[in-house]
Amino acid sequence: MINSWLTQKDQTYVKPRSWLASIHIDGFLFLGLLLLLTTGLITIYSASGGDLNVTKHHAIRILIALGLMVAFAQIPPRKLALITPWVFLLGILMLIAVIVFGDMGKGAQRWLDLGFIRFQPSEIMKLALPMMLAWLFAYSRYPAHPARYIVGLFIVGLTAGLIVIQPDLGTSILIAMSGLFVLFFAGLPWKMIIGALVSLAIAIPIVWNFLHGYQKQRVLTFLDPESDPLGAGYHIIQSKIAIGSGGLEGKGFMGSTQAHLDFLPESTTDFIFSVFAEEFGLIGVILLLTLYSLVLLRGLYIAYRAKEPFNRLVAASLTMTLFVYISVNIGMVSGLLPVVGLPLPLISYGGSSMVTLMISFGILMSIHTHKKLLSN
C-alpha cells in the first residue's frame, strides 16, 4: 500500500485559496505559532531584565526557525517517508558517536562538535523516532502483526537507552513517549500496554540504583522540596512563590520581582512560565493555555484529516509530543512533577529545541496542505 503511495508521481495542483496555502503554510496554525512566539519574546525581554541583546538573539533564532518551518512545509510527505529510515539510521550513529567522542558540557556528554557547528543528536531523534515508527507501521493494514510492535518497542528502547547513557534522562523519557504514541495510535494491544506498565513498575527499584546522584536528588526534592529550602528545594520553592504571587491579574509587564531580584533561577529558560504567571496572573495563564490548546487541536485535526497511515501517525505523534512537553514543563515549575530540565515550547529562550519544534510544525503543514492542494 505504501509502496504505491511513495512511488506515485506528482499530481496536478488545484489553485490554492490563499497565498499562504500556495507556499504550503496552514494559516490557522501559523497564526497560533506567531502569537506564542511573540508571547515568548516579550516574556524573555522581561525575564532578562530588559536585555536587548538576549531578546535580539532569540528573535534571530525565531526567524531562522520560521524559515526552516517554511522549507520543510514544501517537502511532500511521501518524500519525507522515503528518507525517514536513513535519517533514523544517521541519528542512531550520531548518538553512538556522542558516547564515544562527544563534547562535554555541564557534566554531560550530549554534544557533537563538528568544528563549524555544535549540536545535540538527541534533538534529531525527537523527529526521527516517531517518523521511523510511522514508516514501520504504514506498510500494513491495521492491526499490524504483533511482531511489528515488538520491533517498534525495541527501536524505542534502543533510542531512549542511547540518550540515557549521555546522561539525559528527561529527553530520553520524552523521546520514548513520542515513540509510544505512535505504537498506541497504530493499535498497540492493551495486553502489551498493561504488560509494559507492570514491567515498568517492577523495574523502578532496579532503575533507581542506576540513577545518578543529582537525578535521585531531583526525585526526592519533588517529594519534599521544603526538606532543603536553601539547597535542592530552592528552585521549585521560588518558582511556586512566583506563580502564587501573580494572583488573578498579575503584577504587570516587567513586574516579576522573583526574576528581577534574582530569586528565580533559569528565568529565561526552564522556569519562564513562573515569570509569565507572576506578571500576567491567572488570566494570562488561561490565555496562554488557550493558545496552546488551539495549536494542539489544529494538529489533531490535521492528523484526523490525513488519509495515508504514515501521515496520520506522524501528525498525531508530533502533536501529542508537544502536549507532553507543555504539560511536563508547567507541571515541573508548579511542583507537580520532578524537575527534568525541559524548556517551555515556543516560549523559553533557546535555539535547538525551537528549531526542532518548528520543523515538526513544517511537517504538519506539509501533511495538511499537500493533501488539500492535490487534485483528484
Confidence of residue 336 (pLDDT cuts 50, 70, 90): confident
Cα–Cα distance measured from residue 231 to residue 24, given in angstroms and rounded to the nearest whole number = 50
Dihedral angle of Cα 288, 242, 232, 344, to the nearest 10 degrees = 20
What does the pLDDT average to over 262-271?
86
Residue 374 pLDDT > 60, yes or no? Answer: no
- At 5 the pLDDT is 55
- At 373 the pLDDT is 56
Cα–Cα distance measured from residue 23 to residue 4, given in angstroms and rounded to the nearest whole number = 26
Q: Which tops the pLDDT comparison, 214 or 376?
A: 214
Q: Percent of the chain having pLDDT more than 70?
A: 89
Q: Which residues contact 2 (CB under 8 A, 6 or more apart)?
A: 81, 138, 139, 308, 309, 310
Cell numbers describing residue 277:
504567571
Count CB-CB contacts under 10 A for residue 12. 8
> H/E/C letters for each residue in 93-137?
HHHHHHHHHCEEECCEEEEEECCCCEECHHHHHHHHHHHHHHHHH
Residue 11 pLDDT > 60, yes or no? Answer: no
